[in-house]
Amino acid sequence: MDNKLYDADTGTLTGTQRRALAELIRGPYISNLNKPEVFQTVSASRELLAQQLDNLFLTLIVDDNAGVAYVKAWDENVADQRALLRTMSLTFMDTVVILHLRRELVTTNPNERTIVDEGEVFEATLPYQGAAGTDHSARRKKFDAAWNKMKNNSIVIKTPTDGRFEVSPVLRIIFSAEEIATVTEAFEKLLEEHA
């Protein structure tokens, strides 16, 4: 089968497979809700796309049940390996917000969408903002910075209802249960120390 997109094209993937590969590399993830045709291509071509990604030191993760696909750097360190993906460092408040969102996600039926209210998420972060004292605007500013990062990286997706957001199912799989348990335990100790 000829997959040339123009005369001098030496690529071996179809146009839709190339688009899916580019979307995976661009990140942060592909959702069956937002881009169903791209997700279906990834799901159907996973072996071929995984092979292409291995050439770039990347691993393909596809969760058909959650309807999410993304790439991550190899877990193994090998000679000549290069970092291709951008990384996002998390502040303390970013981590608090992610932990809360993931808790909401795992307590929702996997077949249902997880919808959160921005104001309720802010209220849930208040116990962790002891250092901000009683200055409500400083607390809100810290939260807003974290919340905007979640929106910009599609961790939360705006719904038609003002102030309501859907939590991306990618949070179900991107952090292991062990990682979440370790961070949650550390945060609970921190709360006890400041209580």
Domain regions of the chain by residue span: 1-85, 92-194
Predicted pLDDT of residue 162: 93
The pTM of the full predicted model, rounded to 2 decimals, is 0.62
Q: Do domains 1-85 and 92-194 have the same CATH topology?
A: yes
Predicted pLDDT of residue 87: 60
Alpha-carbon span 88 to 31, nearest angstrom: 19
Average of per-residue pLDDT across 133-155: 85
Alpha-carbon span 100 to 115, nearest angstrom: 12
- Closest-CA residue to 174 (of 68, 32, 55): 68
Predicted pLDDT of residue 33: 80
Amino acid identity for residue 31 in this structure: S
pLDDT (tens digit, 9 = 90+) per residue, 7-54?
Answer: 887 778 888 999 999 988 887 788 888 899 999 999 999 999 999 998
Predicted pLDDT of residue 46: 94
User: In which band, very low, low, confident or very high, does the pLDDT at 85 lie, cut at 50, 70 and 90?
Assistant: low
The tokens of 80 are what?
A: 């000549």
Domain 92-194: give its CATH code: 1.10.10
Predicted pLDDT of residue 164: 95
User: In which band, very low, low, confident or very high, does the pLDDT at 168 lie, cut at 50, 70 and 90?
Assistant: confident
pLDDT (tens digit, 9 = 90+) per residue, 88-138?
Answer: 677 888 888 988 888 888 888 877 888 999 999 999 888 877 655 567 788
Cα 108-59-175 angle, rounded to 5 deg: 30
Domain 1-85: give its CATH code: 1.10.10
